[in-house]
Structure 1
Amino acid sequence: MDRRLLLYGTILTLLAFSFLSEIHSASFKIVNKCRRTIWPGFLSGANTPQLPTTGFSLRSGKSKTVSIPKHWSGRIWGRTLCGEDSTGKFSCTTADCGSGKVECTGSGAKPPATLAEFTLNGDGGLDFYDVSLVDGYNLPMLVVPRGGTGGGCSATGCLVDLNGACPSALRVARENGRGTVACRSACETFADPRFCCSEAYSTPDTCGPSIYSLFFKYACPRAYSYAYDDKTSTYTCASADYMIIFCPSPYTSQKLLGARKDGAQLPLVNKTTMYMASQHASSSGR
């Protein structure tokens, strides 16, 4: 009888540890260092339930922490210049998710949009994450792992405000035509398979960087610039929490992250492009 009770107790203990492991969540701290309010959005990947929070308002200087399930995959982005029309329909000038509400409820960002992409607890128990400009760019973004126990745990992102220096063919202007609010991808702009890595250009051997993707890559060396930019743009960590910062200061971020010595092959930002951030910010009020 004692052995049976001991066996039951052992089984219950193992089940309890398994349950706790399954409900363990990562902490994502979303920080807005932009000069204006932004509206972060979340989209879960295929076969991953949508989060309880899929969109919210975040005023300048504020932050919000969101608990993310252990095996979550999906993307995060920031919407800008948002508001309601006379019927109460909510929409944004950049990265709108088309839900008509502050919550995105399973809808993704309309390009152009800077995206942070995550797959938590993937192969080998590692988190895989990146910041992607494949769908264009609308906001500077920085992803910083905190407390990771494995993998490189490098910071990644695009710290430079590229809107002011965006090639003229890719620019998205304000409704009044004054100023650039986002920078399209070449794929969206020209619908050319060479830029979209589609049709005859759908493999890494046939689709390489273009003059447009190199514009993004030069300014933001660790960010995805086109579909097959994996080798220099995907990062890993294990058992980490994450800080996602919109509009980080390039100089401040470089100073803070310089002490990390994270071992990533590429610098976080090309220092010769930093002036673009302050130049455009002074004219846009971002």
Structure 2
Amino acid sequence: MVAVITGASSGIGRATAFEFARKGHDLVLAARFGAGLEEVAIECERLGVRALAVPTDVAQEEEVNALAGRARETFGGFDVWVNNAAVGLFGHFEEIPTEDIRQLMDINLFGYIYGARAAVRQFRAQGFGTLINVSSMVALVGQPFSIPYTISKFAVRGMSISLSQELADEEEIHVCCVLPAVIDTPIFQHAGNYMGKAIKAPDPVIPAKRVARSIYNLTKKPKEQVSVGNMSRMMRFQRLTSPALLFDKYMQKMIAANHFKKKPSRAFQGNLYEPITNWNKVNGGWLPEDAA
């Protein structure tokens, strides 16, 4: 099996690359930060597989198509495509610069669209394949103070459901959507922030390797939608069973109290436009390094 993974230099993507490598599968790894990506490829090769690092900006369709082309040139094709590259952005909705929202959509939404189209072309040609889109718990329940990110994740979930319907007659082509809860990755260090307060990961936090295992398991037993973390399932239940206004007030207060530190923070574009070259690892430091 050959898997293409975007956003592979850190966080969930990096953990997923290691998970596939430990299972003996060759990899095509993509991210903007070439040096960090090469580190991941080297580590995967130490695990006994072939790993091709392809620096890629998923916001550029021609680069995503070139990524698929490199996979074909090197391995003759691919069996799995994991759309994972994404950026975060926090702030009051009306205060976030429009150009930053547009940039986030170019990565989080259009990057997934380009990846999905490249994958589906390959899968139709060969008659099989699995597309895995990493969305988020927020695509089930919403989230204040990170509305652009939430919009993008709702859209990814909608694309996954609709594309699965469109491909319903292709019995060996699968479209899966992963909905993680709060994960211990560097996304909060990398995120753009206009809240005026530093960001933190709200509890409960779960390790990225749990998401990586769920992604890998979908290649063996595909499902249209998988939640990762009890919080994801619990929040969805509360959203469906609670009065809307009561739930909305709860979310507003919970996120305001638990997602931000008291420490002031300057306005920060994060990794919206350029990769951040530190914190390129699996974990974000919100859990012990050996968390299972």
TM-score by length of 1: 0.34
**Structure ranking higher in helix proportion:** 2
Bigger Rg, which one:
1
Indicate the structure with greater strand content.
Answer: 1
Higher relative contact order (CA 8 A, sep 6+): 2
